[in-house]
Structure 1
Amino acid sequence: MAMKTMSYDLSFADRQALVSDCAAAAEIAAIVLARFDERLLRADPVLAEGARQRGHAFEAQALIGLTGGVCPLEDLVLHDASTDVRAPTREITRAAAILDERRRLARREPADVLSPSALRLRLGIETLDEPDRTERVPTWSGAVKKTAAPWEQRGLDDDDEGRGDEEDLDLEDEDDHADPAFADIDALLVRTRKKLDAWNDLSSDAGRRNLTLRDPAYDPAGRFARWLAILEEGKGLPAILATALTLDAWLWLEPSERSGELGFALAATVLRQRGVTMAHLPAIGLGLRRGRFRWSPHQVLSARVAGLLGAFGEAAAFGQADLDRLTLARAVMLRRCEGRRGNSKLAELVDLFVSAPLVTVQLAAARLEVSPQAVEAMLKELGGSLPRELTGRKRYRAWGTL
């Protein structure tokens, strides 16, 4: 993995060749994204907000799908509103975290999101100039001893490690009840236990609470520093091409083991910072999921960047189509509001259905400042134009335009 990290270097000639090879794809993607963003700027605020919120949910679902997981959109929306109809799966929980992350990034200024200090804080990476520390942790007997860091523990001599394995194996062999048929399994368990002990601090309560199976030689700080350098070098490239290169570098370097999907949101934030998309946070993962291109480190750089540019266009095209569907659904529901009294709340309920992915009776009653019985009556007045019911229950129901 270290060789992969260090090999992501782009010379001036490489960048010039990338600009010439991907110029057409970059222009197409920039035009489609700008058109969709301009349409959101000119659209009704209720429709624009609805399209943005739906885009966040679609993006979270798509990113789970790219990793091979299954995330039904209805379950994600219900889990986000704390109205689950079944126990949430690991994929649903991850998608909900991605959904919250995108909403948080969309509310913040791009410069604040992409600042190195904010990114280090988000990824949990210490500053590079911070000296290494060895902690003094209390033992069970109450004494204080110096505990070596995990990377120092992994630096044990190979011969010493081998002798330790042999000593443990000898202890296992001395057991009268040991079965010779399981000798290989016992040897594997001994080696695994020693490796985990070297990676984790088992001498303190804090260390036992933070056990990890991750490779201590992963070097997230070095990977993140290289990605920041790519982000800085992209300022001399066209905005859309710099964004694709930033996302490609994130997928290649993998600066974070825990938040791999964060790179898509950061790339979308780069588009906002460069002024390509001012009214929304593009759903790049959704475009990659819907297209035929699949990113792979075995492809050449120009092919990878061109594929990501195509994903930008796919995301914008899907956003255009989804905004059309949302506009049509609102027009159909508003027909039920014709001829109503001036103090009718039915039109406001329609706008609530459009702006939010999920609506419950309690939420509608709080937003419209009416009683739950009044909301139930308005739902009956909508009739066949009502959005789809998502829970399948007779009580504690929820509706959404998905």
Structure 2
Amino acid sequence: MGVNSIGYDLPRAERQALVCDCAEASEAAAIALARFDERLLRAEPVLVEGVRQRGHAFEAQALIGLSGGLCPLEDLCLHDAGMDVRSPTRELARAAAMLDERRRLARREPAEVLSESALRLRLGIEGPPEPDRPGRATTPSGTVKQLAAPWDRIDREDDEEDQADEDTLDIEEEDHHADPAFAEIDALLVRTRKKLDAWNDFSSEEGRKNLTLRDPGYDAAGRFERWQQILEEGRGLPAALAAALALDAWLWLEPSERAGELGFAFAATVLRQRGLGSAHLPVVGLGLRRGKFRWSPHQALSLRVAGLLDAFAEAAAFGQADLDRLSLARNVMLRRCEGRRGNSKLAELVDLFVASPLVTVQLAAARLQVTPQAVEAMLKELGGSLPRELTGRKRYRAWGIL
């Protein structure tokens, strides 16, 4: 599919009309994000770290929910800590990958994340063709490939001979076991094998290691270039509107055939770059998950962008509520620390519960530099204010404020 057939065009007149139609929603989303970010800048560091880490987990879970999957938050935190209580599912593995991806993006500068070279490297999209050099040849599609060495040609000839032998053997088997009832099935298997051979590269060792089912007509490079144009056009728009437009274009164009959820992280990075997320990486997917709006390509552009802007505001509102919840839990646990000795580690254990989504006895002992027996004693001292136990086991337990 070519980029021209994708049909995502944003003429200048339509862009100006979009700015007017979504001005109120854009301003509301920007104000909500700015207030939450300013509150995080003024909050205590332990609370800020807790909100950030919990936000990453909440966002990964929400993205799985948006795609129709199910990923319990407790299972995600336990899997991240290597304490699975049940066999990991495919959705859990995807959520764990998103969790790691958000953590990596949050540690990097927005300009570095959104640079064209970094985006191409992350999405696995080749850059523009390099100038011709001796020993290199250009394919009809414009990509550059290395000329085959003599030993590569010998290996390829051997592979062709082996393939010819296999085809001859298949023909003999078909003749020997000819059955009209299986004729259609055999023909389907032959067509499927030819299609997979066309999509995969069997001529090199690297190609044989990375066998996958990809559509050769997907045109990921063209889709990515169109999305890059939308991202550049948004530099002259308000910050929230530019991020919403970038996310809408990502959902429409789908530049990545395998990592569609990255668009939410990139939209949050655009918000960070424009000053609406200096202290955190906004949980855009969570806001969309909690709201009533559901994105669909059949909706009008203004309706889609307005719905995404409302999701930004919902994400900021959830962040405010989560910060309040963490502050309340910390205050309740700190009451148990009143009247303690000056060398007591109980207050540090409370801050560890606030800053980490999941805490184990071993983790607390390593962080506080005490023995596991001392951690067990401090857990008993917290009494009813102790966070919820997540594993349901009597040994190797874990607690967290979720």
TM-score by length of 1: 0.90
Q: In 2, Cα distance between the equivalents of 1:147 and 1:39?
A: 64
Tell whether the 8 Å contact from 2:156 to 2:203 is kept in structure 1 after alignment: no
Cα distance change of structure 1 residues 98 and 176 upon mapping to structure 2, 3 Å threshold? same
What does 1:294-333 correspond to in 2, within 5 Å? 294-333=294-333
Q: Structure 2, unaligned stretches of length 5 or more?
A: 131-142, 161-166
Deviates more, 1:127-136 or 1:223-232: 127-136
Q: In 2, Cα distance between the equivalents of 1:205 and 1:138?
A: 16
For residue 141 of structure 1, report the CA deviation from its aligned partner: 10
Tell whether the 8 Å contact from 2:71 to 2:92 is kept in structure 1 after alignment: yes
- Give the SS at the match of 2:399: strand
What residue in structure 2 maps to residue 66 of structure 1?
66
Tell whether the 8 Å contact from 1:137 to 1:145 is kept in structure 2 after alignment: no
What residue in structure 2 maps to residue 335 of structure 1?
335
Q: Structure 1, unaligned stretches of length 5 or more?
A: 149-166
Cα distance change of structure 1 residues 122 and 147 upon mapping to structure 2, 3 Å threshold? farther
What residue in structure 2 maps to residue 132 of structure 1?
144
What residue in structure 2 maps to residue 157 of structure 1?
none
AA aligned to 2:180 is: P
What residue in structure 1 maps to residue 201 of structure 2?
201
Cα distance change of structure 1 residues 115 and 146 upon mapping to structure 2, 3 Å threshold? farther
For residue 299 of structure 1, report the CA deviation from its aligned partner: 1.1
Tell whether the 8 Å contact from 1:5 to 1:223 is kept in structure 2 after alignment: no
Cα distance change of structure 1 residues 193 and 279 upon mapping to structure 2, 3 Å threshold? same
Q: Deviations over 1:146-165 (max 9, x none)?
A: 999xxxxxxxxxxxxxxxxx
For residue 205 of structure 1, report the CA deviation from its aligned partner: 3.1
What residue in structure 2 maps to residue 215 of structure 1?
215
For residue 207 of structure 1, report the CA deviation from its aligned partner: 2.2
Tell whether the 8 Å contact from 2:2 to 2:222 is kept in structure 1 after alignment: no
Q: Deviations over 1:69-115 (max 9, x none)?
A: 11110010011111111121111111111111111111111111111
What residue in structure 2 maps to residue 161 of structure 1?
none
What residue in structure 1 maps to residue 192 of structure 2?
192
AA aligned to 1:136 is: A
What residue in structure 2 maps to residue 152 of structure 1?
none
AA aligned to 1:70 is: L
Tell whether the 8 Å contact from 1:230 to 1:246 is kept in structure 2 after alignment: yes
What residue in structure 2 maps to residue 244 of structure 1?
244
Taking only aligned residues, the RMSD between alpha carbons, in angstroms, comes to 2.4
For residue 178 of structure 1, report the CA deviation from its aligned partner: 3.0
AA aligned to 1:71 is: C
What does 1:341-380 correspond to in 2, within 5 Å? 341-380=341-380
Q: In 2, Cα distance between the equivalents of 1:224 and 1:147?
A: 35
AA aligned to 2:249 is: A
- Give the SS at the match of 2:145: coil
Tell whether the 8 Å contact from 2:3 to 2:223 is kept in structure 1 after alignment: no
Cα distance change of structure 1 residues 319 and 269 upon mapping to structure 2, 3 Å threshold? same
What does 1:272-287 correspond to in 2, within 5 Å? 272-287=272-287
For residue 311 of structure 1, report the CA deviation from its aligned partner: 0.6
AA aligned to 1:109 is: E
Cα distance change of structure 1 residues 106 and 140 upon mapping to structure 2, 3 Å threshold? closer
Q: Deviations over 1:342-376 (max 9, x none)?
A: 11000000000000000111111111111111111
For residue 132 of structure 1, report the CA deviation from its aligned partner: 2.2
For residue 134 of structure 1, report the CA deviation from its aligned partner: 5.3
Cα distance change of structure 1 residues 191 and 255 upon mapping to structure 2, 3 Å threshold? same
Q: Deviations over 1:1-47 (max 9, x none)?
A: 43676421211101101001111111111111111111111111111
What does 1:5-154 correspond to in 2, within 5 Å? 6-130=6-130, 131-133=143-145, 136=148, 143=155
For residue 320 of structure 1, report the CA deviation from its aligned partner: 1.0
Q: In 2, Cα distance between the equivalents of 1:360 and 1:217?
A: 49
Q: In 1, Cα distance between the equivalents of 2:290 and 2:225?
A: 31
- Give the SS at the match of 1:399: strand
Q: In 2, Cα distance between the equivalents of 1:70 and 1:386?
A: 28
What residue in structure 1 maps to residue 135 of structure 2?
none
For residue 322 of structure 1, report the CA deviation from its aligned partner: 1.1
TM-score by length of 2: 0.90
Q: In 1, Cα distance between the equivalents of 2:295 and 2:148?
A: 45
AA aligned to 2:373 is: Q
Q: In 1, Cα distance between the equivalents of 2:2 and 2:172?
A: 36
What residue in structure 2 maps to residue 151 of structure 1?
none
Q: In 1, Cα distance between the equivalents of 2:4 and 2:48?
A: 41
AA aligned to 1:193 is: R
Cα distance change of structure 1 residues 263 and 34 upon mapping to structure 2, 3 Å threshold? same
AA aligned to 1:267 is: A
Q: In 1, Cα distance between the equivalents of 2:158 and 2:125?
A: 24
- Give the SS at the match of 1:218: coil
Cα distance change of structure 1 residues 100 and 197 upon mapping to structure 2, 3 Å threshold? same
Cα distance change of structure 1 residues 138 and 396 upon mapping to structure 2, 3 Å threshold? farther
For residue 129 of structure 1, report the CA deviation from its aligned partner: 2.5
- Give the SS at the match of 2:314: helix
Tell whether the 8 Å contact from 1:349 to 1:364 is kept in structure 2 after alignment: yes
